[in-house]
Structures are given as C-alpha cells and as structure tokens.
Amino acid sequence: MTTITLYHNPRCSKSRETLALLESNGVQPNIIKYLETPPSADTLTALKDKLGIRSFRDMMRTKEADYKTAQLGDASVTEAQLLDAMVNNPKLIERPIAVKAERAVIGRPPENVLDLLA
C-alpha cells in the first residue's frame, strides 16, 4: 500500500478533520507540519502538478490577510511570484494537502481525501 502524506496544520479544524477521516479509514499518514517545515519551491511545484491545477493561486489561501496585503490576487502577479510568496510565507498554502503517489487533493472538504483511498 502506498503511503499518504498529509501537509498538516494541527491548529486548522479542516486539517484535523482530514487527519481524523484518514485515521478512521485505517490510514496512518506521514504528517508534515508545513508551517514548521516549509516545502521548497520544487516540492510546491510537484504538489501543483499532482493536484492537477493550472495556477499556484489555486493552492493558496486567498482570504488570508497576507495574501491581500501582498496584492497576490492582482492579475499581473506571475506564477513565479506566487510560488515565491508560498515558499517565504507557508501560511499562504491551502490546507490540508494529501498526497498519494502521483495524486494529491486539497482536503476542503475533508471528504476529498477519500478519492485517494479508492
């Protein structure tokens, strides 16, 4: 069985719910507390590809004050700038992100992770 990795923030209710859902389905994920151990630019790029999304913006917390303060919603902000913002301020990364092999899902809602168990 392939291991599931969970990019987790224990202070986030959705992240805790996602972890509990995985555990209730017999999965003990490899947990990465991404605020303590921020992912590199290469890791974030790989996550974007595994999520199957087109823009880094789709994996960002767009309602976060730091997102608004940095004006990251502006259409002129490049993908490289979005990536750099997440590397330097990991709280901008949407949470949780669950990864299994070459697939990933954002656990919003937490039930999204069940797709990785099929």
Catalytically active residues are 12
Calpha distance 31→1 (Å, rounded) = 17
What is the amino acid identity at position 83?
L
Calpha distance 101→1 (Å, rounded) = 10
Q: What is the DSSP letter of 7?
A: E
Calpha distance 25→47 (Å, rounded) = 23
What is the amino acid identity at position 30?
N
